[in-house]
Chain A
Amino acid sequence: MPSPEPGSGGALLYEKRQGVYPKAVDGPFRRFKWLWMALTLAVYYITPWLRWDRGPYAPDQAVLIDLAHRRFYMFSIEIWPHEFYFVAGLLIMAGIGLFLVTSAVGRAWCGYSCPQTVWTDLFQHVDRLIDGDRNAQIRLQKAPWTAEKIGKRALKWSIYLVISFWTGGAWIMYFADAPTLVREFWTGNAAPIAYSTVAVLTVTTFVLGGFMREQVCIYMCPWPRIQTAMLDEKSLTVTYKDWRGEPRGSVKQARQSSVPLGDCVDCNQCVAVCPTGIDIREGPQIGCITCALCIDACDGVMTQLGRPRGLIDYATLEGCAQEKAGGPPEAIVRTIFRPRTMIYLGVWAAIGAALLFALGVRRHLDISVAKDRNPPFMLMSDGSVRNAYTVKLRNMEGRPRDMVITLVGAPTAVMWSDDMPRSEASRALRRRVGADLAAAVRVYVIAPAGTPAQDITFTLRAQDEKSGVGAEADTHATRFDAPGETS
């Protein structure tokens, strides 16, 4: 980040973006990044096309956020709105996972997994494909607008646009049946929100990935600030080992110099490959997304010169101090497995286990009862007392099920519902609830004159006993109000 000349008086108010033209580089980290990019993009683009058989009543898309019907499907898991705590739990796990990853390996999210990084990386490869490597890119940028430059720019930007469109297009597939949506999309029958979502994501991908790039990381994103606050002296960051590299100078300068020079030959390779255009030798800085490409670049130089690798390397502040004092480099395992990360890991795993447990034992039917409070009870013409309840039944299985609601407590009371005559009132109501549906029933409970107010319970029992397991059941406690006292 160039700054105004110190002491120049009038500071520069606004600064033009300095173009970044990262040079191609090869090395273990670059190869890992290739792999990781392929993986993350594949997950993003392919997931909505995976199928998962859920029977005739539920969609067969493996991962689907069905906003219209308020269901979230993920392979064998189906989440209902009233089970939103699963989603909350996942979000908490994601948060703690971020703490864990950051305290262990620093800004690994920024360097490898962040969509901004992945798409910027992808677009930079497009740059190299069309314009050539770093120097050719710089030359073309400076060149006048000849037919060739216009052609190249048009080609490059169209490729950006296609990628961006695909990115936006893939996003909406998570919210509807993918093959159907594709057909609807191209025949003009998809919902307007589908088109506008694709448009917005296409534009943002095009602008943020194609042009804003490192500006997003440095100026727009809150992540670097949060992550920086979570780093400690034992977190891994990409570090230039200045005690080993300085004073820097080329091989020729070293030969002529009276004092012995450091290992850095000032070849600027680390700067040339940096996707955010910074010089890591200035020390740790917010612009560094720890993508480790400068490690690859410098290691290449060191190998050529026959010097040990790792002049730029992943290191912890503590390890650096230790190394500077002449000690051995700190073992990475020790920095990763330390109490802080273990506590994060423990909490993370505990929440995960709790969610899995909850998922395992959760019922596939549910009864919830809302009692009428206005009026709390009703006196009938024969002196008996009636209470009204709105009873909600949920069938969370992919087939219609018969269920029986039973009244527990108030032994003299009977109930009926608004879809049947009172003369058929009894202590049990049988209902069929459609596959994967909720049903509301207005239930009236009536008890003879003189019945006192008391607690009652509604029990819901499925009529499809599984062998050995017994029928699934759920209960909901509520109140029966009567004259004299109300709850």
Chain B
Amino acid sequence: MANDKRIDDATGVETVGHEWDGIEELNNPLPRWWLWTFYLCIVFAIGYAVVYPAIPLAHSGTKGLWGWSSRGQLANETAAAQAQRAPLIAKLAATPIEKLPDDPALMQAAVSGGRAAFRVNCVQCHGAGAAGVAGLYPNLNDDDWLWGGNLKEIEQTITHGIRQPGDDKTRNSLMPSFGRDSLLTGEQIADVTSYVRSLSGLEKGSASAARGAGLFAANCVACHGTDGKGLRQFGAPNLTDAIWLYGSSRDAIGATLTNAHAGVMPAWTSKLDPVTIKMLAAYVHSLGGGEDFAPAVVASGAPVPAAAPSAEASAHAKP
């Protein structure tokens, strides 16, 4: 290759001797400042290696004079973000949850914070869309609540959990396992099933359902109410509506009567601070089924503030 060097006719410059499809390279000198730039880069690299972590050692690496670390940077940024959120957190801490809707901006902030906390703590059971899992975890988007669906009730449920031993404010109740404990016979269970299904129109009235009505009155009304609409104080579900956490088929209801369900949820007070719980409650309440919505904004037709403080807030004009 070295022998292919030649003097280029047009420029009088020697070529480097390489050729690619007829394209040759002239051996022009590099500008000297280019060399200086190169030296400068070397100096910079040495400086960088001295002040930043750079050289790997057996177990860790050099720390660098400035003591920078990615964890440290994260800690700083987290601290800065927390400092920035501090006034909001303080305001949330000072506001009782039922007063949240009075301050739409604060409510909005709580819902956003709750959305983030939900993704970390709740999606494992309730799912990313809060739709729950049939037969296991309730759907939080709908308007059916076992233990109550206003802000305060939701907060209470999240704080103390469901059926958590050791928390005396936990949501607690226990449905008898009528079949397993031989409180009802198989035929009686079938009759109660007929009656329960007739309550929400899943079955028409029948002799079996009529027999079941008597059994229901004797065994179930204490918790589910005489009309079967449930009692939230016991987390007893409404049996007249369309929502069945554990299924609405004859088999499913029969199975529940035989071996009762007793779903549990952690008491988050031991893991999350009250403000996070408040935000979670606000978020769950905002999913579309929240009860006792207290409209905080002006009555219909009244003018709304012209210059809204933020894009979101400006949408809060009422229809």
Chain A residues in contact with chain B, CB under 8 A?
Answer: 1, 3-4, 6-7, 11-17, 57, 212, 215, 219, 283, 372-375, 378-383, 386, 388, 393, 400, 402, 418-422, 424, 426, 428-435, 437-442, 444, 449
- 6 closest A-B pairs by beta carbon, nearest first, are A374-B129, A439-B315, A381-B241, A375-B131, A383-B242, A15-B29
* Chain A residues with CB under 8 A of B34: 14, 219
B33 at the interface (CB under 8 A from A): yes
Contact between A215 and B28, CB atoms less than 8 A apart? no
Interface residues of B in 1-57 (CB under 8 A from A): 7, 10-14, 27-35
Contact between A3 and B28, CB atoms less than 8 A apart? yes
Contact between B7 and A7, CB atoms less than 8 A apart? yes
In chain A, what residue has the closest Cβ to B131?
Answer: A375
* Chain A residues with CB under 8 A of B28: 1, 3
Q: How distant is the Cα of A244 from the Cα of B297 in the complex, in angstroms?
A: 87
Contact between B319 and A430, CB atoms less than 8 A apart? yes
Contact between B308 and A437, CB atoms less than 8 A apart? yes
| Nearest CB of chain A from residue B219's CB, rounded to whole Å | 24
* Chain A residues with CB under 8 A of B295: 420-421
B176 at the interface (CB under 8 A from A): no
Contact between B10 and A381, CB atoms less than 8 A apart? no
| Nearest CB of chain A from residue B286's CB, rounded to whole Å | 5
B188 at the interface (CB under 8 A from A): no
* Chain A residues with CB under 8 A of B141: 375, 378, 386, 388
* Chain A residues with CB under 8 A of B7: 6-7
* Chain B residues with CB under 8 A of A429: 319
> Which of A212, A283, A439 is close to B314, meaning CB atoms less than 8 Å apart?
A439
Q: How distant is the Cα of A424 from the Cα of B144 in the complex, in angstroms?
A: 19
Total contacts A to B, CB within 8 angstroms? 141
Chain B residues in contact with chain A, CB under 8 A?
Answer: 7, 10-14, 27-35, 104, 127-129, 131, 139, 141-144, 238, 241-243, 286, 288-289, 293, 295, 297, 304, 306-308, 311-312, 314-319
Q: How distant is the Cα of A442 from the Cα of B34 in the complex, in angstroms?
A: 59
| Nearest CB of chain B from residue A431's CB, rounded to whole Å | 5
| Nearest CB of chain A from residue B20's CB, rounded to whole Å | 17
In chain B, what residue has the closest Cβ to A394?
Answer: B311
Contact between B142 and A4, CB atoms less than 8 A apart? no
In chain B, what residue has the closest Cβ to A425?
Answer: B319
Given contacts A6-B12, A372-B129, contact A381 B144 (CB under 8 A): yes
* Chain B residues with CB under 8 A of A380: 142-144, 242-243, 289
| Nearest CB of chain B from residue A19's CB, rounded to whole Å | 13
Contact between B242 and A382, CB atoms less than 8 A apart? yes
* Chain A residues with CB under 8 A of B35: 14
> Which of A17, A420, A431, A435 is close to B32, meaning CB atoms less than 8 Å apart?
A17
| Nearest CB of chain B from residue A140's CB, rounded to whole Å | 21
Q: How distant is the Cα of A432 from the Cα of B144 in the complex, in angstroms?
A: 32
Contact between A11 and B319, CB atoms less than 8 A apart? no
Contact between A374 and B131, CB atoms less than 8 A apart? yes
* Chain A residues with CB under 8 A of B316: 419
> Which of B131, B293, B319 is close to A378, meaning CB atoms less than 8 Å apart?
B131
* Chain B residues with CB under 8 A of A373: 129
Contact between A3 and B11, CB atoms less than 8 A apart? yes
* Chain A residues with CB under 8 A of B314: 400, 432-434, 437, 439
* Chain B residues with CB under 8 A of A420: 293, 295, 318-319
Contact between B143 and A381, CB atoms less than 8 A apart? yes
> Which of A13, A422, A431, A439 is close to B29, meaning CB atoms less than 8 Å apart?
A13
Contact between A283 and B27, CB atoms less than 8 A apart? no
> Which of A12, A418, A421, A434 is close to B307, meaning CB atoms less than 8 Å apart?
A434
| Nearest CB of chain B from residue A336's CB, rounded to whole Å | 28
7 contacts between A and B (CB under 8 A): A3-B12, A17-B31, A381-B238, A393-B315, A429-B319, A434-B306, A440-B311
Most buried by A among B288, B315, B317: B315
Contact between A440 and B319, CB atoms less than 8 A apart? no
* Chain B residues with CB under 8 A of A418: 286, 288
Q: How distant is the Cα of A475 from the Cα of B197 in the complex, in angstroms?
A: 44
Q: How distant is the Cα of A13 from the Cα of B314 in the complex, in angstroms?
A: 67
